[in-house]
Amino acid sequence: MQEHVTGAASHGPAAALGAADPGDDRSAAPPAPRARRVLGVLLGCATALLGTLHFLLAGVVLGPFLLWPRTRRDALRVLMAGARRLTALERSRRSVFFGDRFPAHYRASDRKVLRYLAVRCSTGLLCAVVTGLLVFGAVLAGLLVNGAVRGGLGWEELLTQAVLGGVLLFLDVQGLYSLAALDARTARECFGPSERELLRQRIDELAASRAAVVRAVDVERRRIERDLHDGVQQRLVALAMLLGRARRSRDPERADALLLQAHEESQGVLTELREVAWRVYPSALDSLGLEEALGGVAERCGIPLRIRFEAGAPLPQPVEAAAYFVVSEAVTNAAKHSAATAVEVRVALTGTRLAVRVEDNGRGGADPAGSGLAGLRGRVAALDGVLRVDSPLGGPTIISAELPCA
């Protein structure tokens, strides 16, 4: 008994900034309006002044206690309490005026917080100086234009002042842009993983996924060898023995019976060989697609299997193969080991991610570190996907995978 339910996929935005992981809240957001960003820069000058005052007061009041080993811990706790409040204020400023989004559960170390606050105070005060020079230059430009209109300046002096003012204006604007970029970069390093941390994490993930793929390929080769040796090869040996006995038999009726038995055995060998080839890679994936290949899984399943396929867009071939093997392995485990009486499969495309969910009503207790599930995890991780196994004792068992399609 199989039931296939097909529907259109719902699409939604799933973009993320940089190399954000699933627990990262730094989702893509439209840039803030220019006026709001300018206001955020001006407010940053004021918060930098607050940070500078905090460091000065802490240095004067807590300096002796920071030098004495017995009181250093308590004094450092007071210093960090104020520093973290100021960094929380800076984080709110970046979120409100610049539209930045940072990981919700990331907590920077004390050293990183102090370093960020020190850099923020320096850049904020320098930004205030550059902004003051820009305002002062605008006032001088107004006076220069007023003098030129009244005829109090000659053309040579006016040209010299205009060139000098243009160079200073360019330097002021470039300085503001550079300070704003430095502010954004230091905020990312403090309120979320730095670029170096993300790169190191990405390298570790790639190394782990590569090792998992190697292990999965080795396990798959051994499984194929075992299926051929213990199944197909043994039946071929039995077929050869039947044919040999029929060739040596002197009784025509006995020989006919042996040939009939050999013919039936050959049909069984072909069926088992077809099953082995299907487990290695189903040809239906290339010719008919993932939905039809999953239909083949439902046909071979010994328990009721309900499949809901909600992927209306074409899928990349590696994603289809990974999704097929997740469903096939999970359904096979449910039928063999969990004593399940029903299995439900849902495959849905949401935005640029394909979600695969297999749930059975068996007794649970599946081992996520088992060879089959570990191989699936390696196959999914090789595509930057995630495989989750939830199988408490008593059931149900839920195996879910998320595969990026972009």
Q: Which of 122-136, 146-160, 236-250 has the lowest mean pLDDT?
A: 146-160
Nearest residue to 334 (alpha-carbon basis) of 375, 389, 282, 387: 389
Write the pLDDT tens digit of every residue in 114-128: 888 889 988 889 988
Report which residue type is found at 394. Answer: G
Q: Which helix (H) or strand (E) holds 154?
A: none
Nearest residue to 298 (alpha-carbon basis) of 344, 338, 341, 354: 344
Task: Tell me the pLDDT band of 22, cut-offs 50, 70 and 90.
Answer: very low
What is the C-alpha to C-alpha distance for residues 30 and 140, in angstroms, rounded to an integer?
A: 37
Displacement of CA 334 from its chain's centroid (Å): 28
Question: Would you say 298 and 307 are in contact if contact means Cβ atoms under 8 Å apart?
Answer: yes
Residues in the chain: 406
Strand partners, 397: 360
Quick one: pLDDT at residue 10? 35
Task: Tell me the pLDDT band of 332, cut-offs 50, 70 and 90.
Answer: confident
Q: How far is CA 114 from CA 111, 117, 194, in A?
A: 5, 5, 15
Q: At what angle do helices 69-98 and 110-150 cross, to 10 degrees?
A: 50
What's the DSSP call for residue 325?
Answer: H
Question: Would you say 358 and 345 are in contact if contact means Cβ atoms under 8 Å apart?
Answer: yes
Quick one: pLDDT at residue 322? 86
Nearest residue to 117 (alpha-carbon basis) of 55, 193, 39, 66: 55
Task: Tell me the pLDDT band of 18, cut-offs 50, 70 and 90.
Answer: very low
338 φ, ψ (degrees, to nearest 5) = -100, -5
Report which residue type is found at 98. Answer: F
The residue written with tokens 């930004």 in the block is 127
Question: Would you say 97 and 36 are in contact if contact means Cβ atoms under 8 Å apart?
Answer: yes
User: Does 4 have pLDDT greater than 50?
Assistant: no
Question: Would you say 330 and 356 are in contact if contact means Cβ atoms under 8 Å apart?
Answer: no
User: Does 205 have pLDDT greater than 60?
Assistant: yes
Q: 365: left (phi > 0), else alpha (psi -120 to 50), else beta? A: left
What's the DSSP call for residue 369?
Answer: T
Nearest residue to 366 (alpha-carbon basis) of 322, 341, 324, 332: 332
List Cβ<8 Å contacts ≥24 apart for 59-63: none
Q: Which helix (H) or strand (E) holds 363?
A: none
Residue scoring higher pLDDT (283 or 37): 37
Task: Tell me the pLDDT band of 87, cut-offs 50, 70 and 90.
Answer: confident
Write the pLDDT tens digit of every residue in 281-313: 666 677 778 888 888 888 878 788 888 888 877
SS (H, E, C) 198-263: HHHHHHHHHHHHHHHHHHHHHHHHHHHHHHHHHHHHHHHHHHHHHHHHHHHCCCHHHHHHHHHHHH
CB atoms within 10 A of CB 297: 22
Report which residue type is found at 142. Answer: G
Burial class of residue 330 (count of CB atoms within 10 Å of its CB; 0-12, 13-18, 19+) = buried
Burial class of residue 253 (count of CB atoms within 10 Å of its CB; 0-12, 13-18, 19+) = exposed
